[in-house]
Amino acid sequence: MQSLSPSSGISLKSLIRKTTPPPGQTHRFDPVRFVIQCGHRSDSANTSASTVNTNGAPTSYNFAGHVGSSRADWQSSCAILASKVVSQQQDTEKTGDITVVNGHKTLDLVPIDNLPKPLTITDLSPAPMHGAQMRVAYQGVPGAYSEAAAGKAYPNCEAIPCDQFEVAFQAVELWIADRAVLPVENSLGGSIHRNYDLLLRHRLHIVGEVQLPVHHCLLALPGVRKEYLTRVISHPQALAQCELTLTKLGINVSREAVDDTAGAAEYIAANNLRDTAAIASARAAELYGLQILAEGIQDDSSNVTRFVMLARDPIIPRTDRPFKTSIVFAHDKGTSVLFKVLSAFAFRNISLTKIESRPHRNRPIRLVDDANVGTAKHFEYMFYVDFEASMADVRAQNALAEVQEFTSFLRVLGSYPMDMTPWCPSREE
Ligand SMILES: O=C(O)C(=O)C[C@]1(C(=O)O)C=C[C@@H](O)C=C1
């Protein structure tokens, strides 16, 4: 990955040069790719979601939905799935430059001049850039874990800092970046809900995943001691991941949320704050001239954040290595469909690796009237499921053909190689 140390001084203005996209590609995104609007059908066979990518090459997922044995057999064999809905953590909704979670106060970050500045919404004029080097958008400033994830996903990339997740999505859509690398879940802090919502709102495709061991440090200005601290600032996920350890260290001062971990370090350095510590990476300490007061302060030594890589076009799914597929679906009749959908995977021995539910923003409430007892108000959800199979695998195609029967909306977010990096939790990124 290209270094974003202060000496490199990449200016974001240079990222927005006016060039045209490569031949055969356009700025427009095909909203139908991998989106299947479906109704109920009695026959499940030969349903095909055939689409064309922007290079003109057909990308087709054929859902031939054949169910090989009786429904009663598989319904009983997968009954265990019914209780497996994952509980959710707090939302990390971002608004503008500032994050507010659980009443944490927010801060305005004062940037340091010689580091690349995060893209803002106003930088996003549709002015594409397409060079030989992969440009990868991430949320945060240099030294953020997301920057390390971008480097792990694309080792020789030019990492482009963005001030919001939304901006990273748009940077790819507008050809300012070739890929975005964004966190979706952490082993301690849970899901990054904002990115689930954005995955649905935008038309990018998941083309890969990286799992990054996250090794947090407590950083302060040189000479500052723990006793001087009146507050600890960081990304809300990082605060959540270190809560118990901070208490054990006797640091019972206020916690305040900012947009990203490295941004917290930058803020302390830029404002010469001697009463404030940041939770961030050792690389952030180096970049912003802070000392490490404590290392490895995450509540679990094997703390891992999973990031997804996003692109304008999907990759061709394969079967010669482990693949994962991510889908999102909803149903007009609410959550009763969930068990049926999950059983389509259980029946075919396809393991699920993640289930997430988010409010159905277009139709958040469903009213069910009963003349005798009144009106029930059910909340409506979008369900996100990751499963361990490639879309090139006939089992996955059959499972999705069946899912399509049970759902009113189904979209394949991507089918991509699983991160199979050998387990090395103590390694610092
Ligand atoms: O703030 C950062 O450094 C980030 O990259 C963001 C983020 C997150 O969104 O969860 C990524 C990894 C860590 O889990 C903590 C924070």
Q: Is 358 helix (H, G, I), strand (E, B) or coil?
A: strand
Distance from the alpha carbon of residue 210 to the mean position of ligand 1, in angstroms: 13
CA 122, 128, 130, 136 dihedral sign is positive
Helix (H) or strand (E) holding 354: strand 352-359
CA distance 1 to 378: 48
Decide if 335 is catalytic: no
Structure tokens at 227: 């006793």
CA distance 302 to 284: 20
**Domains observed in the chain:** 132-211+301-312 (3.40.190.10), 214-296 (3.40.190.10), 314-365+376-415 (3.30.70.260)
Nearest to 298 by CA among 251, 252, 238: 238
CA distance 141 to 122: 17
Decide if 307 is catalytic: yes
CA 155, 160, 165, 171 dihedral sign is negative
CA distance 121 to 50: 34
CA distance 412 to 73: 28
User: Does the predicted model carry a pTM greater than 0.95?
Assistant: no
Per-residue pLDDT tens listing for the chain (429 residues): 543 333 332 233 333 433 334 444 433 323 223 333 333 333 333 333 333 333 333 333 434 333 233 334 333 322 222 222 222 233 333 443 434 333 443 344 445 666 777 877 666 644 434 456 899 999 999 999 999 999 999 999 999 999 999 999 999 999 999 999 999 999 999 999 999 999 999 999 999 999 999 999 999 999 999 999 999 999 999 999 999 999 999 999 999 999 999 999 999 999 999 999 999 999 999 999 999 999 999 999 999 999 999 999 999 999 999 999 999 999 877 667 889 899 999 999 999 999 999 998 777 777 777 777 787 777 889 999 999 999 999 999 999 999 999 899 999 999 999 999 887 765 444
Q: What angle do CA 58, 180, 153 make, to 5 degrees?
A: 95
Distance from the alpha carbon of residue 82 to the mean position of ligand 1, in angstroms: 32
CA distance 423 to 426: 9
CA distance 230 to 271: 15
Q: At what angle do helices 165-173 and 193-201 cross, to 10 degrees?
A: 30
Distance from the alpha carbon of residue 347 to the mean position of ligand 1, in angstroms: 36
Query: What is the predicted ipTM?
Result: 0.92
Structure tokens at 66: 């054949």
Helix (H) or strand (E) holding 148: helix 145-153
CA distance 378 to 303: 36
Index of the ligand 1 atom closest to the CA of residue 186: 14
CA distance 11 to 158: 12
Give, as one character, the DSSP assignment of residue 300. Answer: S
CA distance 370 to 383: 27
What residues are in contact with ligand 1 under a 6 Å CB criterion? 140, 144-146, 183, 186, 192, 214, 235, 237-238, 260-262, 305
Residues 6+ apart with CB under 8 A from 103: none
Task: Give phi and psi for 75, each to the nearest 5.
Answer: -65, -40
Structure tokens at 128: 């594409």
Index of the ligand 1 atom closest to the CA of residue 149: 5
Give me the catalytic one of 165, 169, 307, 329. 307
